[in-house]
Structure formats: C-alpha cells, structure tokens
Amino acid sequence: MIRLGKVVTVLCALALAALWASPARAQGGEEKEKPHVYTYVAQWDVPRADWATFEKPNPPFDALMAKLLADGTVLDHGGFKSVAHQEGSPNHGGWWSATSVGNLMKALSAIASLKGNPELEKIQAASKHWDYILDSRLYGAKHGSFENGYLRVGAYKSKPHEGEQTDKMVKAYIVPLLEKLLADGSIYAYSIDHEAIHTADPSYFWIVIIANGPEGLDKFYEGLESTGKSNPTGGPAFGSTVESADHRDSLSLASGTYK
C-alpha cells in the first residue's frame, strides 16, 4: 500500500480520480443518472532523494481514513506514485472521494488535525504541490482494497461548442468498454471527471482508470484496440470533438480502498 502521510500527504492524479464506492455506484451501465461523486486530489513534486521517506507507512493517517470510511464521510481513498516521470511534474499523490464537497472538507479538516510528522512536513515544504476537486457522474468500482493498481489518467479538452457532443461520445463509446473491463476484473475502477472547482479551462475532462496489475493494463489497451475494430467510426467521432494537441496521459502505481 502506498501511504502518504498528513493532509498534505494524502492524495490523486489522478486523478484521480474520483471515483467510486457506494451502492449508488452500481456496476452495469444503468441508464438512470448516477448521483454526483466528488473527489479531492492532491499531488506533489517530491525531490527524488526524499521518495523513500515520503512513502513510509503512516499508521495514524491509515487509522483516520478507516474511521472516515466506516462513518460514511468518505467513499474511498488511495495513493499513487508516478512511473512515467516528467521534470517539474508531480510524482506522488493521492485522493479521497465523497457524496458532497462538504464531506470532502470534513475529511480535509480531520487530516489536517493529525499530529505532524516533522520528516514529512519538511519534505512537503520543499515540494511543489497541486490540489484539485473533481466531480463525476460516470464511474464504477469494485469494493475492497488493492495494492497492485495502475492509475492511468487521460486528459482531454473539448473543442469549442462540442462539450455536449463529447459527453455523448464518451457515454456511447468509452463507458461501455470500461464497464466491460470492470465486470471481468481487468480494472478496479473508472471515472470520467470534470473540475468542480475550476483551476483549469472548464473544457477539460479526465478519463481515469485503475487497472488490475500489469495484466489489467494490457487488457485495457487490448480493449481499446478491439473496440476500435468493432466500431471503426467511434474513435474518429470521439476524436473529432476534442483538441488533439491538448491530450496528455499519466501513469502511476496506485493502492486504495473502496467501501
């Protein structure tokens, strides 16, 4: 389990994600619109020499997150570390999600009240940091915990006046594949995220998956290829609604728990 201590050491990428774990997140692609799920994501650009210290177990944080899961404040939480590094970009992070922004803030306050870890605080002070609050109504997840996940986040930007069409293409072309991969165990979770608190262009959205180990990651890419062959117009139709020059991907090792 990747453990990231204190507030500032909790959370995302990815993304993350968002993501995922109440009965309302039922699997199966039902037509009824799902409730909003909000995700708090935090990322750090930790100096390489401090990675091992940053990743040390943090029992007080783990105990707090278990309590917040049990009492329903949060739906899930996890941490990640990048495996495809870019100079000046975040390399560690984590997330938690909830049914409201208020519950995200309750969790944030509880994490902030944890007794400080001097080693971590020193590293955090020396690291660049990013926070995001995301919103999703397209998501799914397996209940339970995992330690071998691969968090893949694809960032996309809709073309002007194409946001509604992009959403339709994601629902028709992307989500059915992700639901299939979730059902057969190839991925632990997925979500389609937009920012709830906008720090970037509102046209951006993120397609987030957590694959079940290296094999699950291969299944995801095989699924994309197979979907493209069975529906040769779907990929180009989706691509026509987004700005290709603005597309970016990230890949991280992840661990997490879904209630």
H or E element, residue 176: helix 175-183
CB 119 within 8 A of CB 128: no
pLDDT at 170: 97
CB 77 within 8 A of CB 96: yes
pLDDT at 58: 87
- What is the Cβ-side half-sphere exposure of residue 194, based on CA atoms within 13 angstroms? 15
Q: For the domain bounded by 7-258, which CATH number is listed? A: 3.30.70.100
pLDDT at 31: 57
Listed by start position, the domains of the chain span 7-258
Q: What is the pTM of this model?
A: 0.88
Question: Could you tell me which of 148, 131, 156 has the C-alpha nearest to residue 215?
Answer: 148
Distance CA 190, CA 253 (A): 15
Beta bridge partners of 157: 204
Distance CA 212, CA 220 (A): 10
- Look up tokens 């509102």; give the residue: 202
pLDDT at 30: 45
Mean pLDDT per block of 10 residues along the chain (259 residues) reads 37 37 40 90 96 92 96 98 95 97 98 86 92 97 97 98 96 97 98 97 97 98 96 95 97 97
Number of Cβ atoms within 10 Å of the Cβ of 63: 11
